[in-house]
Amino acid sequence: MELWVTNDTLHEVTDTLTIRFGTFVESTVWEESSYIHIGVNDNQMVRHCDAGKMIAGPDRYLTVRSAKGLFPAKRHFFSPIKELQRTPVQPEITIAQMGEHELHVHLRAVNYTYFVHLIVPDARTHFTDNYFDLEAGEMRTVILTNRSITLTPEMVSVGWR
């Protein structure tokens, strides 16, 4: 496994990346961090991992996260979705009404939750985020706004796989 980072900005980038190799039942097989310093319009292989260190399989996955939040967390599965050995569980969902036109949807994954998506039956609704994965225990708040209609929690449906 190799991790490459591309800096397509016009300034140098420094960050600490955390690479985690884990299973779908919230156990970390190993985790390590790498400091990166990448020049303007440059790219680097920032981590090389021998195959012997990773016993890949359909019950596990790899993630990389940026300490500074320079990019959304990336994940890699070692098998097609249909072959992953995992048990989808409904995430915990709390919806707060923030006025007539805004809802805050708080999500917390009980187990690894794939393809989390929020749907409101009105195309004018804006979502601050949508269609993402959540690792076990991970939380995220999505803000829904719609200036054209009154939003109510009953209008929101949450899907996942």
Partner 1 sequence: LRNHPCLALWCGNNENQWIHDRTYWDRQDYPVPGSLYNNTLLPQIVKEFDGKTPYWPGSPYGGNDYNSSKDGDVHNWQVWHGNLPRRFGEKPRVERSPEGVSFLHYAQDLGRFISEFGMHASPVYETLRRNIPADQLFYHSPSMDHHNKDTPNNKGDNLMATVTGLPTDLEEYIDYSMMAAWSCG
Q: Which residues bind partner 1 (CB under 8 A)?
A: 80-82, 115, 119, 121-123, 131, 159, 161
Considering the complex, state which of residue 36 and residue 116 has its C-beta at the smaller distance from partner 1.
Answer: 116
Task: For the CB of residue 44, give the shortest distance to partner 1 in the complex, in Å.
Answer: 20
2 or 27: whose CB is closer to partner 1? 2
What gap in Å lies between CA 28 and CA 3, rounded to an integer? 19
CB of 33 to partner 1, least distance (A): 27
Report in angstroms how near the CB of residue 40 gets to partner 1 at its nearest. Answer: 20
Burial class for 110, CB neighbours closer than 10 Å (0-12, 13-18, 19+): middle
Of the candidates 53, 54, 57, the one whose C-alpha atom is nearest the C-alpha of residue 79 is 57
Enclosing H/E stretch for 144: strand 139-145
Which is closer to partner 1, CB of 36 or CB of 133? 133
Q: Whose Cβ is closer to partner 1: residue 36's or residue 142's?
A: 142
Q: Give the residues across from 20 on adjacent strands.
A: 31, 63
